Amino acid sequence: MANRHASQHAATASMAGKVCIVTGANSGVGLEAVRKLASGGAHIVMVCRDRVKAEKVREEIVAATPARIDIVLADFSDLDQVRTAAATLLRDYPRIDVLINSAGIHSTTRTITKAGFETAFCVNHLAPFLLTSLLLDRLRASSPARVIQVNSEGHRFSGFHLDDYNWERNRYTGLKGYGSSKTAQLLTTWEFADALAGSGVTINAMHPGDVRTNIGNNNGLLYRLFKRFFISPLMLKDPAISGEALYWLAAAPEMATVSGRFFHLTIDEKPAAHALDRAKGKEAWELSRKLAGL
Ligand SMILES: NC(=O)c1ccc[n+]([C@@H]2O[C@H](COP(=O)([O-])OP(=O)(O)OC[C@H]3O[C@@H](n4cnc5c(N)ncnc54)[C@H](OP(=O)(O)O)[C@@H]3O)[C@@H](O)[C@H]2O)c1
């Protein structure tokens, strides 16, 4: 959190022709990444769960910027759909230069997916873990390539319960469920970085700023009123800053070999101690592989 007011880096490097996959690409942080990558000439693949929303965004962006934008559908609360999307991506894109995992939710109530996972854990961690794992060989073959995890300073709200990832024994709250899913992602990001060392593929996590997006709008009226009148106007910034930061992480030459780090927008920052426990990270890695059916 130390870097909340730091001045940020920006990149001017071209992304012309680079194939960039962005999840959660129709809204908020992901959408701003798409806008910025489109202006940098990238060939973008939007991974979204709703075709109508995705088409609307594609039309709006291509009307403003000549850009190649494709759409692949997947609901991240269903790992079978993530597998199908990965198969489509592997079939259609012989090279992948950048993968930005931005899809995410904050849910004030504990809900369970049809496969039996707590939903925030599945959408925020298991689904991007599976997608990244399934694309890893293609990323390696495309080297140099970059993976960016849109994580959160919210990881500080909770450690990850290896033995209670579905919140059956510990009391679930929206902030704890969210924090825990983001911690699980950080713990496994360091493992991905080790697995990719020397391959020319980097993986970093970032906090996209405290920005005005649709996050949390899936929650009840009370939460949405609280967000609208008390949180957003006072605290939240234009999400364009997230797009700028993601562009820097994806394009900046100085980031070509940096891996296994956490950035507050573009400033290198130390995560919470519970997200730096490498022994726990190895267990989280094995658990995530098992749960994702890898
Ligand atoms: N906003 C912030 O200040 C902030 C701060 C820290 C971290 N973040 C992180 O930034 C990322 C993006 O969030 P945002 O703030 O941009 O919120 P957002 O505007 O709500 O965007 C979230 C994106 O994720 C997608 N998504 C949600 N559930 C999904 C599912 N089951 N399957 C597939 N896609 C799904 C949404 O699709 P639909 O439009 O179809 O729902 C949307 O495209 C998240 O990982 C979030 O944790 C945001």
The per-residue pLDDT for 97 is 98
Distance 198 CA to ligand 1 centre (A): 31
Q: Ligand 1 in contact with 185 (CB < 6 A)?
A: no
Q: Ligand 1 in contact with 152 (CB < 6 A)?
A: yes
The per-residue pLDDT for 1 is 61
The per-residue pLDDT for 229 is 77
Q: Ligand 1 in contact with 59 (CB < 6 A)?
A: no
The per-residue pLDDT for 222 is 83
Order of strands, sheet of 267-268, starting from the edge strand that comes earlier in the sequence: 68-73, 43-48, 19-23, 98-101, 145-150, 201-207, 262-264, 267-268
To the query of whether residue 223 is one of the catalytic residues in this protein, the response is no
The b/e string for 1-40 (b: 16+ C-beta within 10 A; e otherwise) is eebeeeeebebebebeebbbbbbbbbbbbbbbbbbbbbeb
From the candidates 165, 172, 178, 223, give the one annotated as an active-site residue: 178
The residue to mutate among 3, 26, 29, 83, having the most atoms of ligand 1 within 8 angstroms of its beta carbon, is 29
Which parts of the chain sit beneath pLDDT 70? 1-3, 234
Nearest partner of 1 among 220, 202, 193, 152, judged by Cα: 152
Distances (CA, A) of 290 to 116, 161, 176: 14, 16, 23
Question: Mean pLDDT score of the chain, rounded to an integer?
Answer: 96
The per-residue pLDDT for 234 is 67
Question: Tens digits of per-residue pLDDT, 236-248?
Answer: 899 999 999 999 9
